[in-house]
Chains A and B, each alone.
Chain A
């Protein structure tokens, strides 16, 4: 069955031709799955998967003072990074709530912000409102297609197709080059816990690149992957999903993203509120939840309880294919959020015992720690 609501990407007809199950997502018609969620998930863990992420938004900032302008927008620090560096960061409101979480690319002549599809309009308004005079904003979302290749085989697969030395590229760096003849911003980033590259290309070139990569990668086990497997892959790593685990009402300190909050550095929006929150301590924390019974699957919205009352709520939960059991993430009141604490999850009226745990749930991923190539730590966890 084909659901025809939503904006299309440059690759929509490719997905339909390959029989993907399409769903409306963040206003776009996107592939939910192709061969099956678990099969696609395992392909990425064990070999290779290719994703259409063209729904993501891209904003380009240019002009004098662009790095300082980026610093003011996000909690992490861009000044001091080298051109080619990518930085993961929340973008906060004055009260410390998260407007969005994004990738910030420090490029030679500009700063590129990559934002969640559902937040493109909200973020564009926010960014424009908070840019200093002289820094120019351009929404390039409709002029940019994004293809991700993820999995332990990615470097071996893509290196012969690229005009850059991909093996020499550090995690969280990006360079302009070509892949299979297509000009791309080649970024060693991802959302799966595996090694991988994300390729920003012109929409007109996307279908050809997609087809060439699928064809060239098939012998290595490359399969197209939908949003369903993308969600279980990121979940097993404990990566936050905007709209589930973080939103305007949660702070990066509550969400375990303190490593992205540079309180002692230059000004950013929300700095004061987050400084106060850090001084006073957060009242709740986003934690991992491991049910005692592995067939118990926490789901978004389920209440988290202690012996007497509700102490939190599940924000993401699923069967985790690479762990082989049900797992959850959720906010728990700080006194009950310590590792090893016992809580209960109200699973459709039944109390299921669970233990508070640190994430990631899956620790065997092939993603290289930042800095392993060049021997320095960029501070991205």
Chain B
């Protein structure tokens, strides 16, 4: 399981990469492994407002469905449209091609409430 040190993580298995005021968001390698083959990703429109901890989308795998939770509050400024045609990118490259949305953060301080890589590994039972 890959858990990059530079990212922040939620208990619901989303990751966040802060780029200035923008937060890039996806789901973790652990999450994609648990879900299995992902077939549809339903994401919000650019401009949508999301709340930290609120549902921003849905991910459908062959065998199960799961909600996606926003790690931070703000406005959606970009959506990974390529997941419409290639949802398996989330399985293949969850931290790169499989990113889902970018949020312009209202308060970058919210990032402090999220887990770091060590905390997340512990959360999924792989802490050392």
**Which A residues form the contact surface with B (CB < 8 A)?**
1, 21, 32-33, 36-38, 228, 231-232, 295, 297, 299, 318-319, 321, 326, 348
B63 touches A318 (CB 8 A): yes
- Given known pairs A36-B36, A38-B37, A319-B39, the reply for A228 and B63 (CB within 8 Å) is yes
User: Which residues of the other chain, B, contact A32 by a CB distance below 8 angstroms?
Assistant: 36
B63 touches A231 (CB 8 A): yes
Interface centre among B33, B39, B64 (most CB of A within 10 A): B39
- The 8 A CB mask of B58-69 against A (1 = contact, 0 = none) is 101111110000
Some 11 contacts from A to B, beta carbons below 8 A apart, are A1-B126, A21-B33, A37-B37, A37-B63, A38-B37, A295-B60, A297-B60, A299-B64, A319-B61, A321-B62, A348-B58
A303 shortest CB reach to chain B, Å: 15
A-B contact sample (16 more), CB < 8 A, given A297-B65, A319-B40, A319-B60? A1-B1, A1-B125, A33-B36, A36-B36, A36-B37, A37-B37, A228-B62, A231-B63, A295-B40, A299-B64, A299-B65, A318-B62, A319-B61, A319-B62, A321-B62, A348-B58
Complex CA gap A297/B60 in Å reads 8
Complex CA gap A361/B90 in Å reads 28
Those of B20-64 within 8 Å (CB) of chain A: 33, 36-37, 39-40, 42, 58, 60-64
User: Which residues of the other chain, A, contact B1 by a CB distance below 8 angstroms?
Assistant: 1
B60 touches A37 (CB 8 A): no
Query: What total of chain B residues lie within 8 Å of the partner, measured CB to CB?
Result: 17
A344 shortest CB reach to chain B, Å: 18
Complex CA gap A84/B54 in Å reads 60
CB closest residue in chain B, given A324: B39
CB closest residue in chain B, given A321: B62
User: Which residues of the other chain, B, contact A231 by a CB distance below 8 angstroms?
Assistant: 63
A347 shortest CB reach to chain B, Å: 9
B66 shortest CB reach to chain A, Å: 11
A38 touches B62 (CB 8 A): yes
User: Which residues of the other chain, B, contact A21 by a CB distance below 8 angstroms?
Assistant: 33
Complex CA gap A228/B39 in Å reads 15
Complex CA gap A348/B42 in Å reads 14
A326 shortest CB reach to chain B, Å: 8
User: Which residues of the other chain, B, contact A321 by a CB distance below 8 angstroms?
Assistant: 62
B60 touches A232 (CB 8 A): no
User: Which residues of the other chain, A, contact B65 by a CB distance below 8 angstroms?
Assistant: 297, 299, 348
CB closest residue in chain A, given B36: A37
B60 touches A228 (CB 8 A): no
CB closest residue in chain B, given A294: B40
User: Which residues of the other chain, A, contact B58 by a CB distance below 8 angstroms?
Assistant: 348
Complex CA gap A1/B33 in Å reads 10
User: Which residues of the other chain, B, contact A228 by a CB distance below 8 angstroms?
Assistant: 36, 62-63
Complex CA gap A32/B126 in Å reads 20
CB closest residue in chain B, given A36: B37
Complex CA gap A33/B64 in Å reads 14
